A = this chain, B = another copy of it.
Amino acid sequence: MRKSSSTNLENELLINGNCGMAYTLDLIGGRWKPSILYKLLKGSTRYSQLRKTMPAVSERILILQLRELESDGVISRTVFPEVPPRVEYQLTDLGKSLEPVLRVLSDWGDANRV
């Protein structure tokens, strides 16, 4: 009989509940999330524009990362009822509050990367 919940998931929840650092990292830690957030810091951006600036990501993965950021409340999605469709993504207030966090991460990386 299989375990109803994996130790892996249990540990994730345990750590995120105990450690603010781990919680924050979990929100912004996907492969393409930093790049997405970096773009959105500059303002509302269309899906097609995100794709252009990140040509290496596949559509499925980009959408997945956007959906996760959205369900975590960091970004929001606005659909304009036009044809062809237009969808814009933007930071929520919560997302905007991440700006200093993102900047510190970015600066440290730029200063220390080899």
Contact = CB atoms under 8 A, between A and B. Distances in A.
Interface stretch (A43-51, A78-86, A103-111): A103-111
Q: How many copies does the complex hold?
A: 2
Interface residues of A, number: 41
Contact of A31 (B12, B38, B94): B12
A15 B34 CA distance: 9
A94 B112 contact: yes
A25 B25 contact: yes
Across the A-B interface, the 3 shortest Cβ-Cβ residue pairs: A20-B109, A20-B110, A23-B109
6 contacts: A15-B34, A16-B113, A17-B113, A19-B109, A20-B105, A22-B109
